[in-house]
Structure 1
Amino acid sequence: MKLFAISDIHIDYPDNARWVDNLSDMDYRDDILILAGDITEDSSLLAWCLGRFAAKFRQVLFVPGNHDLWVRREAADMCSLRKFEHVMAIAEDSGASSRPYSYGDTLVVPLLGWYDYSFGKPNSDLSMLWMDFRACRWPDGIGPEQVTEHFLKMNPQTLPQDARRNRVVTFSHFLPRIDLIPFFVPASMHYLNPVLGSSGIEGQLRALGADTHVYGHSHINRRVSIDGVTYINNAFGYPQESLMSVRRLVEIG
């Protein structure tokens, strides 16, 4: 049994959906897949994708990303918190899970999240350019900080003694720390820092004793160890990003 990870598949693009469909139906039947968010804003496509993965893997573990909670094509009374509940129901019906999963001596823990500006304050450029500010709708009086707090409270804060394993792998869509963005990213792109993640995710994965954490969102694939935790990003990405990503499943060693 092996543990694989991928994120940011964005199957709204036909080439990306074709990759999912063409993935072997036999090679991964005994394996586990971490799917770290940003599949599609389209609920029917989400159900198709999760169903296809569930048919190919022993277990699919999933957390939604920001794109999955967009409501720009939904009815006016659909907010992104309701969309979240809808997405989670689709995942369950499709055979995916967002609950901790144990196998052998390993426990895999999904961590919900959002961004709360703990990596920096947004400027006017971000307010104009970041699609979430137009594609997501939240109840009155709720902003990103409150959204993040809401999702973090849904995560397990500690592990019961009988759930502990020799190894804990956590995963989230959003980044748990800003230094996961490598030094070669130009300063002109740092305006995106506020919407990359939350330091609250880092606090939670440390409290759970994780030795490996999988994340998505940044579309900058890397594997790096920081203070005893190995962080892994394996984003499939947009079609125009094919030179930046390997476009394959990555095994979590």
Structure 2
Amino acid sequence: MRLYAVADLHLGFAANREALAEIRPRPDDWLILAGDVGETSNHLRLAFETLAPKFRQLVWVPGNHELWAVGERGAAPGEAPRRGEDRYRAFVELCRDYGVLTPEDDYPLIEIDGSALRLVPMFLLYDYSFRPPDVAAEDALAWARQGGVRCADEQFLSPAPFASRSEWCRARCESTEARLLALGGESVPRVLVNHWPLREELARPPRIPRFSLWCGTKRTEDWHRRFNAGAVVSGHLHMPSSRIVDGVRFEEVSFGYPKQWHGRRAPDDALRRIVV
């Protein structure tokens, strides 16, 4: 059995929806969907109904696009879209309808390439801490705007019932950390999966470096060491890469928008094999 991962399928784009059909079956293998499958439940259903028959098991973690408070096609007139935690929990329930694992499920112990590992899907968000030390938290958004950078999350990603996305991030990090600590000192390596990068050095898009504000939290900088990671999987940046930090492989597995992949690589090639 092998483990594969892909992020940022962005099924709001017709070309990306069509690309799903080009992903070849791997019926003995697991596939991680590391966030930003799309913006609506219909996007997730399309992904699950297309990919679940091709893989032994799907695993999903949310990205910022799933959390955007946008309406669903077919919703009743005037029906308000789900927001914040309520939206996330609705997607978790949708995953369970399809047998897809989520950050709310037990972390499975699986055998990949003949070796045991612990798969840890996480939902951690960001808290604007990926910024220069001389920029205060209250000045972070102004600092980004000075560089011409804005993020649609500020309009669409509600943190309700939390007062802010930073508070939601703190709560998610604390609850996930507690679950990881409860695993104890097992020797089995872990694959940590989160839509946003775990380390600031991996969250600097060269063309828009100040977008780092929306890319993670410094709370997780040492999690790969603290929690015995054999590999770390993320997306969000639309910059596929593989890097080694402290002997741990960090995999950015984004597919991206059509202009970023079309004519450059086949959709099936976007699936990254995760090796520990």
> What is residue 210 of structure 1 aligned with on the other side?
229
| 2:211 paired residue among 163, 169, 192 | 192
2:161 matches 1:157: no
Name 1:2's counterpart in structure 2: 2
CA drift at 1:208 = 1.8
- The equivalent of 1:92 in structure 2 is 96
2:165 pairs with 1:144: yes
The residue type paired with residue 122 of structure 1 is L
Quote the sequence identity (%). Answer: 25
SS in 2 for 1:157: helix
SS in 2 for 1:151: helix
Q: Deviations over 1:103-133 (max 9, x none)?
A: 1211111121111011012226289731011
| Counterpart in the other structure of 2:252 | 233
Give me the TM-score of the superposition, normalised by structure 1: 0.88
Correspondence 1:166 to 2:188: yes
Match of 1:35 in 2: 33
Q: Deviations over 1:128-169 (max 9, x none)?
A: 7310111122336611210101222342232535x9353211
Q: CA deviation at 1:246?
A: 6.2
Contact 1:39 1:68 in 2 (8 A): yes
Amino acid at match of 1:145: S
Q: 1:133 aligns with which of 142, 154, 159?
A: 154
CA distance in 1, matches of 2:82, 2:203: 33
Distance across 2 between alignment mates of 1:233 and 1:204:
16
Counterpart Cα distance in 1 of 2:240 and 2:56: 25
Q: CA deviation at 1:201?
A: 3.0
- Tell me how large the CA RMSD over aligned residues is: 2.4
Task: Find the counterpart in structure 2 of residue 19 from structure 1.
Answer: 19
CA contact (8 A) 1:157 1:207 kept: no
Extract unaligned runs of 5+ from structure 2.
Answer: 73-78, 132-139
- Which amino acid in the other structure matches residue 127 of structure 2? D
Cα distance in 1 between the residues matched to 2:224 and 2:97: 27
The alpha-carbon distance between structure 1 residues 154 and 60, as it changes in their structure 2 partners (threshold 3 A), is farther
Amino acid at match of 2:128: Y
Is the aligned partner of 1:103 residue 2:110?
yes
| TM-score, normalised by the number of residues in structure 2 | 0.81
Cα shift readout 1:179-226 (whole Å, capped 9, x = no counterpart): 1146x814xx12211111112233444332112100010111110001
Cα contact 1:107–1:165 (8 A) shared by 2: no
- Once the two structures are superposed, residues 13-54 of structure 1 have per-residue CA deviations (whole angstroms, 9 ceiling, x without a partner) of 111112223322xx3111011110001111122122123222
User: CA separation of 1:157/1:12 partners in 2, compared to 1, >3 Å: closer, same or farther?
Assistant: same
Larger Rg over CA atoms: 2
Say whether the 8 Å CA contact 1:72–1:136 is kept in structure 2.
no
1:116 to 117, 127, 141: 127
Match of 1:58 in 2: 56
The equivalent of 2:136 in structure 1 is none
Mapped to 2, the partners of 1:160 and 1:70 lie a distance apart of 32
Give the 3 Å change call, closer, same or farther, for CA 250–170 of structure 1 in structure 2: same
